[in-house]
Structure 1
Amino acid sequence: MTAEQRVHLSKSAPAVYSSLAGLAKQVGAIAAEAGIDDRLKEIVQIHASQLNGCAYCVRVHVEKGIKAGLDADAVTQIATWRDSGVFSDRERAGLELAEAFTFIHEDGIPDDVYDRVGGVLTEAEYVALSWILISINAFNRLTIAGRYPVPPRETAAATPR
């Protein structure tokens, strides 16, 4: 079955999709209030999307990450963040939290992760990042289930050859 043959969930239930998009907007607002910058927000969304295998969301959030100041080195190091020296302590805490939320079915949020992340992030930052991760995991499931085609690169169209 091709993607064209599948039910397009966001088009088939637009009110529900609109609610999910509204959730993402509210999450963005609490993230901004908590001091979560766009770079950190995009790093955790890229990582969760990578872990879920959502090429659509990886593309979208890499584009947004580039606009937020991520460079090619940082983007390529996300998958190997534990061995990389390009991320701040806050970003490393966010990446660890991204893994815990993405694989929440395995152990929940383990106490050691909660304690480590809580030692770096404020409560407001933890709450905001948690909601970002809940939201991106929902979008990942929507696009993976629907086999949404990966959107074209925005930067490719703007880059002369």
Structure 2
Amino acid sequence: MSERINLGKSAPALYQAVMGLEKLSAEAVASADIQAGFANLLRLRASQLNQCAYCVRMHTRDALSSGESTDRISVLPAWRESGYFTEKERSSLALVEAITLISDGQVPEAIYEQAAANLSKDEISAVEWLSIVINAWNRIATSSRYPVKP
């Protein structure tokens, strides 16, 4: 694999701007009373869909350290088929997936309606911003080929 430009080092002001978005997004998540562990699962799910190895490893570790169980982490790619997630969590996961895969049908009305039925406006906003920010991070890490070694 060829060495890539590290976007964080080549444009530190832009990288810091994304860090600022991360901070504001985390504040919105906390303000909406979304648990830190579940927020890490949302980040992990987007990272799985984006195939960002660096972020998958990081958010798996973050989820574990914030109290998420190995079972919930393990079934995350198949969350629809498991009984591990509440309706509120399922709505959040569906919304994160729709935003991550936005080129595939935008954010379908049915997914947004499900979110509106199960989440407050503050929770929807926090989940959407979390998704937007983690997708930016995934693109930074993947295009820079951040190393993922044992």
TM-score exceeds 0.5: yes
Q: Which residue of 2 aligns with 1:70?
A: 68
Percent identity, aligned pairs only, is: 39
- How many Å separate the matches in 2 of 1:78 and 1:125? 20
* 1:10-57 alpha-carbon deviations (Å, 9 max, x no partner): 100001101101110011011111111112211111000000000100
- How many Å separate the matches in 1 of 2:133 and 2:148? 19
CA contact (8 A) 1:43 1:91 kept: no
Q: Which residue of 1 aligns with 2:24?
A: 26
CA contact (8 A) 1:56 1:150 kept: yes
- How many Å separate the matches in 2 of 1:136 and 1:82? 21
- How many Å separate the matches in 2 of 1:32 and 1:89? 19
**4+ residue stretches of structure 1 with deviation over 2 A?**
none
* 1:13 and 2:11 correspond: yes
Q: Which residue of 1 aligns with 2:46?
A: 48
Q: Which residue of 2 aligns with 1:98?
A: 96
Mean Cα deviation higher: 134-143 or 87-96:
87-96
* 1:84-135 alpha-carbon deviations (Å, 9 max, x no partner): 1111112111111111011111211111000011111100000000000000
- How many Å separate the matches in 1 of 2:149 and 2:110? 38
- How many Å separate the matches in 1 of 2:6 and 2:64? 28
> Which amino acid is the alignment partner of residue 107 of structure 2?
I
- How many Å separate the matches in 2 of 1:28 and 1:151? 28
CA contact (8 A) 1:90 1:120 kept: yes
What's the offset of the Cα at 1:151? 6.2
Q: Which residue of 2 aligns with 1:123?
A: 121
Count of equivalent residues = 150
CA contact (8 A) 2:38 2:68 kept: no
- How many Å separate the matches in 2 of 1:100 and 1:150? 27
Which of the numbers 35, 38, 44 marks the counterpart of 2:36? 38
- How many Å separate the matches in 1 of 2:92 and 2:17? 25
Note the aligned Cα RMSD (angstroms).
1.1
Q: Which residue of 1 aligns with 2:135?
A: 137
Q: Which residue of 2 aligns with 1:107?
A: 105
- Describe the SS at the equivalent of 2:84: coil
- Describe the SS at the equivalent of 1:105: coil
> Which amino acid is the alignment partner of residue 94 of structure 1?
S
> Which amino acid is the alignment partner of residue 37 of structure 2?
R
- How many Å separate the matches in 1 of 2:19 and 2:66? 20
Q: Which residue of 1 aligns with 2:77?
A: 79
- Describe the SS at the equivalent of 1:69: coil
